[in-house]
Amino acid sequence: MPRLNPLIRVGLPVFAAAALAAGFRAHAQPTWDWPSKAKNLKVLPEDSPPEKLRAVMTGFTRALGVRCPYCHVGKEGAPLSTFDFASDDNPKKQIARDMLNMLGDINADLKKMKLTGSRRVNMWCHTCHDGRPRPATLVEELTAAYDSTGVDTTIAAYQHLRTRYYGRSSYDFGEGSLLELGAMLAERDRYDDAIRILKLNVEMSPGSVRALVGLAEGYQESGRKVEAVQTYRKALQLDPENQRARRGLEELGQPVK
């Protein structure tokens, strides 16, 4: 009998409620029935009843924003009866098992800590994933896109992620993310690409002094003095006392007013 992960012991009622409330059966194939005895369970208890198995699996799909083929052997859109759920051929299935064990270890450690607050802190899949298969930051995702195929793909990736996730806590779409990416590209001497990212930041955050100053500093660092001065002045129109904009103009030998 495999050890019962603390995540499963504590989280099953929560996952079950979420599954039932969302009407999970509406997404399943009409002919599919959860097995009375599942095969090849290595972290979940071997005698997990259908309703608990369904709740846990539904919790995974919601936490990661994925569907059954992400971890199991089967074709998207095909009847669930055609899936080989017992197979270990999909390597992501073992990753899921490892993640479950990791969560159990983390929650066990949390129970040993003297934490403040009226309720005990717990870690769940959605604590890190929050609807994403890969729990990376926006900057990490965009950096990977840039390193793969360049700035055009990076901008397209940003727009795609923003369309899908904006308004949720999955990614930080504030000015800081694109400022960080722009600074990273400038450090690589990719000034033209950095400025494109910083201009996108201004476009996505209209009226943001922070985004304007970041773009002005990008212009300044790349040697585009005229554009730097113009952008610093735009920032000062919104915030006349902004010290970074004032210092930038002074460094460029321009009057602040």
Read off the CATH number of the domain in which 184 is found.
1.25.40.10
Indicate the SS3 state at residue 73. strand
How many Å is the Cα radius of gyration of the chain?
25
- Closest C-alpha among 228, 190, 189 to residue 212: 228
The Cα 176–Cα 202 span in angstroms is 11
Q: Where is mean pLDDT largest: 63-72, 98-107, 124-133, 207-216? A: 207-216
The answer to whether residue 65 is domain-embedded is yes
- pLDDT at residue 188 is higher than 60: yes
Domain boundary among 128, 150, 165: 128
Sign, Cα dihedral of 80, 81, 82, 88: positive
Q: What is the pTM of this model?
A: 0.75
The answer to whether residue 256 is domain-embedded is no
The answer to whether residue 154 is domain-embedded is yes
Q: Are residues 150 and 124 in the same domain?
A: no
Q: Are residues 148 and 247 in the same domain?
A: yes
Q: Please report the pLDDT score of residue 31 as a whole number.
A: 67
Question: Phi and psi of 248, rounded to 5°?
Answer: -60, -45
Q: Are residues 202 and 96 in the same domain?
A: no
- pLDDT at residue 228 is higher than 90: yes
Number of Cβ atoms within 10 Å of the Cβ of 135: 16
pLDDT confidence band for 114 (50 / 70 / 90): confident
Give the ranges where 22-137 is alpha helix by DSSP (H): 50-64, 91-112, 125-128
* 73 strand-pairing partners: 84
Q: Are residues 84 and 117 in the same domain?
A: yes
Q: What is the mean pLDDT of residues 156-184?
A: 96
pLDDT digits (tens, 9 = 90+) for 238-252: 999 999 999 999 999
Domain boundary among 128, 147, 176: 128
The Cα 177–Cα 154 span in angstroms is 13
The answer to whether residue 257 is domain-embedded is no
- 227 to 49, 148, 200, 214: CA distances (angstroms): 66, 30, 15, 12
pLDDT digits (tens, 9 = 90+) for 118-137: 887 788 898 899 888 989 99
Domain boundary among 106, 128, 150: 128
Q: Are residues 15 and 124 in the same domain?
A: yes
129 vs 5, higher pLDDT:
129
Q: Are residues 37 and 89 in the same domain?
A: yes
Q: What is the dihedral of CA 52, 54, 59, 65, to 10 degrees?
A: 170
The answer to whether residue 1 is domain-embedded is no
- pLDDT at residue 105 is higher than 80: yes
- Closest C-alpha among 246, 250, 192 to residue 218: 192
pLDDT confidence band for 30 (50 / 70 / 90): low
The Cα 120–Cα 111 span in angstroms is 8
Residue 13 CB contacts under 8 Å (≥ 6 apart), including other chains: none
- 43 to 8, 62, 164: CA distances (angstroms): 9, 20, 32
pLDDT confidence band for 14 (50 / 70 / 90): very low
Q: Are residues 26 and 77 in the same domain?
A: yes
Q: Please report the pLDDT score of residue 197 as a whole number.
A: 98
- pLDDT at residue 148 is higher than 50: yes
The Cα 131–Cα 6 span in angstroms is 22
Domain extent at residue 101: 6-128
- Residues above pLDDT 70, as percent of the chain: 88
- Closest C-alpha among 65, 48, 62 to residue 20: 62
The answer to whether residue 53 is domain-embedded is yes
The answer to whether residue 86 is domain-embedded is yes
Q: Please report the pLDDT score of residue 117 as a whole number.
A: 84
Q: Are residues 146 and 124 in the same domain?
A: no
Q: Are residues 119 and 207 in the same domain?
A: no
Q: Are residues 176 and 91 in the same domain?
A: no
Across the chain, mean pLDDT equals 88
- pLDDT at residue 175 is higher than 80: yes
Residue 120 CB contacts under 8 Å (≥ 6 apart), including other chains: 110, 111
Q: What is the mean pLDDT of residues 152-158?
A: 98
Q: Could you give the number of structural domains in the chain? A: 2
Sign, Cα dihedral of 147, 148, 151, 154: negative
- pLDDT at residue 23 is higher than 90: no
Q: Are residues 168 and 103 in the same domain?
A: no
- Closest C-alpha among 160, 157, 210, 208 to residue 180: 210
The answer to whether residue 231 is domain-embedded is yes
- pLDDT at residue 20 is higher than 50: no
Q: Please report the pLDDT score of residue 22 as a whole number.
A: 43
- pLDDT at residue 234 is higher than 90: yes
The Cα 202–Cα 82 span in angstroms is 49
Q: Are residues 86 and 154 in the same domain?
A: no
